[in-house]
A = this chain, B = another copy of it.
Amino acid sequence: MTEQPEHQLTLDDLAQRLSDFAAARRWQPFHTPKNLAAALTVEAGELLEIFQWLTPDQATAVMADPERAHRVRDEVADVLAYLVQFCTVLGIDPLAALAAKIDRNELRFPVPEE
């Protein structure tokens, strides 16, 4: 299965789908900021777990193995899902937060002169 680039997808649309998903299952009481931050950390750990014993070469080639590639995409999705839900619950715009951080980092880490 090749990964379909779905460039029409936006993070906002997915945030809305995740909100609707949780609401339909009445999961909102569990989705406190603290629980979502914990779940995000747990899922990040699960992504790292795939790599923990791999050599750098094995890690770079991880997407060549279909089963591992699926697992990596699945954990990426989990991390992003909890990050987006965390942001929704606290009213944070994650793209604006990242843009502002890149702005700050451009000042903090100037490009070295040749």
Contacts and interface: CB of A to CB of B under 8 A. Distances in A.
A6 B45 contact: no
Contacts of A4: 93, 96
A28 interface: no
Given A44-B44, A45-B46, A59-B33, A52 B76 contact: no
B63 A92 contact: yes
B21 A102 contact: yes
B63 A38 contact: no
Interface of A: 3-7, 9-12, 14, 17-18, 21, 24-26, 30, 32-35, 37-42, 44-54, 56, 59-60, 62-63, 72-74, 76-81, 83-84, 86-87, 90-102, 105-106, 109, 111-112
